[in-house]
């Protein structure tokens, strides 16, 4: 295996994933200003996030399957170009309907990137290091989040919110620059063999259908908890804790720092303690931290401690998905399997922001966030009971029970 080639693939996937986060969080920070600009309710604002996450499910499924057909690298380039274009176009929206359509189209590309990039790295990685390698790639999400937070604080300190949110979306074109590097320096792993037909139906064959169902439920639980919390966190800090918008961004640096540490360390935990134990640990601790952060922490200074812990557990749980799903599925359907499970999770999780916005009509937004997140993490723990441990496994070349 070529070490330089593997490192180039890791850098490419990290760029794609970090820029995916950058584009996603531009909307999160723009949300309060969008609500004012279009005179929207919180429920309508939550629906904009829902549209993005639901269409990301379609993108992940379609592009994951395409990656089995035409290759990981080529599909990765398509996905990055797609979400960069439609994030940029969101800045021109003149009505809520236009923004909703553009956000939906953006989501298609956002969902595709993880499905393809994680497969690319899994196939380049040795079994003993697969968890930590994908944990390092996952940590790029925190870097993209950090970049969006910096962009938000700079732009909103200079421009009025009505102009600021549009400028944030214009910055969403920056990920397209990554295409130059990927096209020139990145290749698929030697084990990849293009499939003659589309592979989606293969993940529902008898030998794999149980895996597909419960891996999807695991992804639904983890992602619903995450998006229920972090889509509305800036709004929670400004509305329920009465912080100024720029001040709330400063507190979020602590959450982001914890998230980065969680992504990296969870990758090592996955290799040391196994996939299932690490998932369970991070899900349970996330469920505990959500109400602690939103209600037990009374003084703003206490957020200095609670913020990094919340980011650590709620984000670190995602480092397990890349290695775990890659080991659950054989070569021929790996892209389709990872794309389906992770992005069905993302799509169903898209209901979380809407549900919180709806519940916030009658309850404090913190209470709505807590209820949805705890239920979601409980689902993730239950799903683990029906899935095998795969730590240390070599990637399979064929579907179990079928002749080579």
Instruction: Tokens for 158, please give them.
Output: 């200079």
Q: Which helix (H) or strand (E) holds 156?
A: helix 130-158
- pTM higher than 0.85: no
pLDDT at 404: 42
Cα 332 to Cα 283: distance, rounded to the nearest angstrom = 30
Q: How far apart are CA 368 and CA 374, in angstroms?
A: 10
- pLDDT value, residue 3: 67
Other Cβ atoms within 10 Å of 144 Cβ, number: 24
Of residues 193 and 282, more confidence is placed in: 282
Please give the domain boundaries of the chain with CATH numbers for all domains.
3-182+199-384 (1.20.1250.20)
pLDDT tens across 373-397, in order? 999 999 999 999 999 999 988 887 6
Give yes or no for residue 2 having a pLDDT over 70: no
Taking only the tens place, the pLDDT of each residue in 247-265 is: 666 777 888 899 999 999 9
Token pair 């990554």 is at which residue? Answer: 178
User: Residue 151: which pLDDT band, with cuts at 50, 70 and 90?
Assistant: very high
**C-alpha span between 3 and 71 (Å, rounded):** 20
Whole-number Cα distances in Å, 260 to 29, 142, 151, 173, 246: 19, 5, 18, 24, 21
What pLDDT, in 10s, does the model give residues 317-367? Answer: 999 999 999 999 998 889 889 889 998 888 888 788 788 878 878 888 888
Q: Report the percent of the chain where pLDDT is more than 70.
A: 94
Q: What is the mean pLDDT of residues 120-141?
A: 90
Q: Name the 3-class secondary structure at 163.
A: helix
Sign of CA dihedral 246, 30, 151, 250: positive
Spatial contact of 52 and 350, defined as CB atoms under 8 Å apart: yes
In whole angstroms, what is the distance from residue 220 CA to residue 241 CA? 29
Check residue 363 and give its pLDDT.
81
pLDDT for the residue numbered 403: 45
> In this predicted structure, what is the pLDDT of residue 298?
64
pLDDT of residue 248: 60
179 SS3 class: helix
What is the pLDDT at residue 376?
95
């Amino acid at each position: 295996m070529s070490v330089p080639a593997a490192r180039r693939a890791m850098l490419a996937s990290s760029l794609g994933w970090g820029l995916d986060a950058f584009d996603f969080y531009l909307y999160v920070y723009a949300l309060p200003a969008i609500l004012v600009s279009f005179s929207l309710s919180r429920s309508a604002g939550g629906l904009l996030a829902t549209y993005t996450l639901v269409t990301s499910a379609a993108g992940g499924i379609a592009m994951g399957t395409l990656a089995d057909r035409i290759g990981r690298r080529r599909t990765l380039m398509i996905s990055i170009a797609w979400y960069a274009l439609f994030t940029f176009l969101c800045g021109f929206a003149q009505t809520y309907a236009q923004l909703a359509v553009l956000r939906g189209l953006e989501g298609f590309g956002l969902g595709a990137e993880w499905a393809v990039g994680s497969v690319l790295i899994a196939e380049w990685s040795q079994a003993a290091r697969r968890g930590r390698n994908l944990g390092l790639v996952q940590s790029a999400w925190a870097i993209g989040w950090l970049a969006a937070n910096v962009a938000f604080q700079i732009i909103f300190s200079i421009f009025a919110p009505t102009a600021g949110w549009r400028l944030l979306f214009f910055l969403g074109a920056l990920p397209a620059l990554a295409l130059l590097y990927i096209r020139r320096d990145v290749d698929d792993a030697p084990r990849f063999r293009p499939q003659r037909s589309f592979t989606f139906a293969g993940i529902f064959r008898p030998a794999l259908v149980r895996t597909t169902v419960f891996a999807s439920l695991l992804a639904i639980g983890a992602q619903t908890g995450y998006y229920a919390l972090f889509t509305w966190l800036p709004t929670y800090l400004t509305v329920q804790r009465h912080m100024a918008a720029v001040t709330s961004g400063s507190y979020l640096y602590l959450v982001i720092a914890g998230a980065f540490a969680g992504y990296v360390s969870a990758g090592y935990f996955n290799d040391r303690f196994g996939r299932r134990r690490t998932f369970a640990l991070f899900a349970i601790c996330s469920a505990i931290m959500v109400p602690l952060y939103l209600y037990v922490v009374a003084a703003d200074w206490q957020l200095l401690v609670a913020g990094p812990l919340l980011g650590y557990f709620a984000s670190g749980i995602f480092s397990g998905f890349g290695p775990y799903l890659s080991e659950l599925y054989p070569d021929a359907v790996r892209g389709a399997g990872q794309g389906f499970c992770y992005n069905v999770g993302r799509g169903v999780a898209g209901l979380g922001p809407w549900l919180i916005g709806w519940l916030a009509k009658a309850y404090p937004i913190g209470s709505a966030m807590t209820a949805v997140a705890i239920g979601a993490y409980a689902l993730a723990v239950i799903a683990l009971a029906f899935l095998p441990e795969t730590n240390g496994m070599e990637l399979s070349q064929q579907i179990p029970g079928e002749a080579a």
